[in-house]
Amino acid sequence: MCGIVGYIGKRDVAPLLLEGLQRLEYRGYDSAGVVVTSPKAAGLKMVKAKGRVRDLEARVPKRFAGTTGIAHTRWATHGAPSDENAHPHMDAEGKVAVVHNGIIDNASDLRAKLTAEGVEFLSETDTEVLTHLIARNDADTLEEKVRQSLKLIEGTYGVAVLHADFPDRIVVARNGSPVVLGIGEKEMFVASDVAALVSHTRQVVTLDDGEMATIKADDFRTYTTSGTRTTAEPTTVEWEAESYDMGGHDTYMHKEISEQPDAVDRVLRGRIDERFATVRLGGLNLDAREARTIRRIKILGCGTSYHAGLIGAGLIESLARVPADAEPASEFRYRNPVVDPDTLYIAVSQSGETYDVLAAVQELKRKGARVLGVVNVVGSAIAREADGGMYVHAGPEVCVVSTKCFTNTVVAFALLALHLGRIRDLSVSDGKRIIEGLRRLPEQIQQILQAEAEIKKLADQYADAKSMMFIGRVRGYPVALEASLKLKEISYIHAEAYPASELKHGPLALIEPALPTVAIVPDDDLLEKNRAALEEIKARSGRILAVAHQEQEKADHTVVVPKNEPELDPILMGIPLQLLAYHTALSLGRDIDKPRNLAKSVTVE
């Protein structure tokens, strides 16, 4: 992992590839590299650098012309970040160059075998193994060399291969890690993410797992790793190149938090059916009769998407009265889950490429389960693997940490819960009540965003904390979980989230003036219980920042948010806490869009 860009055409390739790498910087990486050639060139030219794309750019020599090339940003898995471990990896003769996302599981065995045959390795990476396999393969065509080499490896890959003897083509392959072809005018692009292509072309072909492609300047063809031709219909990317720009904000995170009123408007657009007080979700592929037979709903996701799933499960239980729960997909897939035919499984993923979620979906499908996807990226692996689902229409999310996709995913779950509820026992008046609540959300989010200056002041006051506690009850608990994750990811302040009801069962021992608590205190039937938790904390001299519908007497500070319907309140209560995490990280001078050790989409185990 993490980012691949390639180009073949007539233009000077190095600047194009560097620009593509810059567009992938958001995914997180620790080193970068580029290799170029051209039909008339004698061999491949390569530059690599630990650090940022600008460090790589500084190393690119004046004479680095070429019209074909591949480039990579690496996020270390095998071997530390270093010049040597950066991709591309070349063989000793400098004929083959490979960039690779994913993990080769049998790399050590293959490395031992190749070493015994006299191959000298220059890096600690798993990818270099594949380079040598291709270089040593004696098939006549590059396609066959790559195909036969891939047969020897076990694991996941998105790869792009350049060979000095075949300078008119790039061969790419996908298994578990995304590869997208971009079709231009007498030029072709390849990337692991459309973000790297959209400023040049919006016509793309997304490879399936087990698929390969040969791209030439004016042509491409796709085939399986067993050599059978496949048909690939180009589709048009709906996101514009400008959606990937910062748009006047200092960080992508700030831009994406600010975009939430519009993003929520988009997920609702065209879906509300006033007449029957319900919503229309065409992509679910689940008719009313089938929906009525569902006995249980299991939601699977990772990180922030798992938290969105927890709120989603609560919405489904309260509006549709179907037992529902959420579980980290990364755990689910390893516990040989009992798959029940009456359970509907829902996979949640912003990127649609998270390997743990994809693997859970594949396992469920193999066992005959029905799986829906709640996904942001159109045409992504999970969206394609699922039997149906909903897009959350948040637009591209560039910051490594998720904000607008989280909010839109929760709103998408509210729509799904309403849809299922109205098929089952939710009354027309409750349906109308939820629809009216949903319609109020964009404006209420805007109202919360207007309190940014006040939240910034609070963040400055709490930024000295070494650790923070987040508490909430029932609907408020997943909000606390997500807010604590956001804070730790970008500020690196340790944070814990607990159900407020659990305080006295242990965590109360931590409370002291140096450990502030952020409490979610909606004005609902649990208000008094939540207030009691605040009393318990205050009695131990803990500082409290409440997010509530009215000033909280026991809190040192309260951020007052507008009230919606109780089921929808978690959506609004999360927003000020995104700003709190943002401004805390800002006041600590953190690299907000690229937090340390994290990558945007985790396409490896």
Q: Interface with ligand F6R by CB under 6 A: which residues?
A: 302-305, 349-351, 354, 357, 401-402, 489, 601-602
Residue nearest to ligand F6R (CB): 303
Q: Which residues contact 331 (CB under 8 A, 6 or more apart)?
A: none
Spatial contact of 27 and 3, defined as CB atoms under 8 Å apart? yes
Closest C-alpha to 172, from 192, 198, 199: 192
CA distance 23 to 324: 38
Residues near 96 by Cβ (< 8 Å), separated by ≥ 6?
90, 131, 134, 135, 161, 162, 163, 164
* Distance in Å, CB of 11 to ligand F6R, minimum: 32
- Catalytic residue from among 145, 486, 554, 600: 600
- Closer of 25 and 489 to ligand F6R (Cβ): 489
Pairing of strands 517-521, 544-548: parallel
Among residues 300 and 474, whose Cβ is nearest to ligand F6R? 300
* Nearest in space to 134 (alpha carbons), one of 147, 124, 120, 118: 147
Residue 302 among the catalytic residues:
no
| Residue 582: CB minimum distance to ligand F6R, A | 12
Looking at the Cβ atoms of 351 and 491, the one nearer to ligand F6R is 351
Q: Which is nearer to ligand F6R, 406 or 498 (CB)?
A: 406
Tell me how far, at minimum, the Cβ of 259 lies from ligand F6R, in Å. Answer: 16
Q: How far is the CB of 318 from ligand F6R (least distance, A)?
A: 24
Structure tokens at 493: 């302040």
Tell me how far, at minimum, the Cβ of 431 lies from ligand F6R, in Å. 29
In 3D, which of 573, 416, 588 has the Cα closest to residue 482?
573
Query: What is the token pair recorded at 374?
Result: 């709640």
Euclidean distance between CA atoms 463 and 528, whole angstroms: 29
CB of 407 to ligand F6R, least distance (A): 12
CB 533 within 8 A of CB 471: yes
Active-site entry in 2, 302, 399, 405: 2
Distance of CA 456 to the CA centre of its chain: 27
> Please, what is the minimum distance in Å from the beta carbon of residue 304 to ligand F6R?
3
Cβ distance to ligand F6R smaller for residue 535 or 591: 591
Q: What is the rounded CA–CA span in Å between residue 125 and residue 130? A: 10
Hey, what amino acid is at 430? D
Beta bridge partners of 371: 345
* Rounded Cα gap, residues 446 and 205, in angstroms: 37
Q: How far is CA 585 from the centre of its chain?
A: 21
Residue 405 is a catalytic residue:
no
Q: Report residue 313 CA to chain centroid gap.
A: 20
Residues that are catalytic? 2, 600
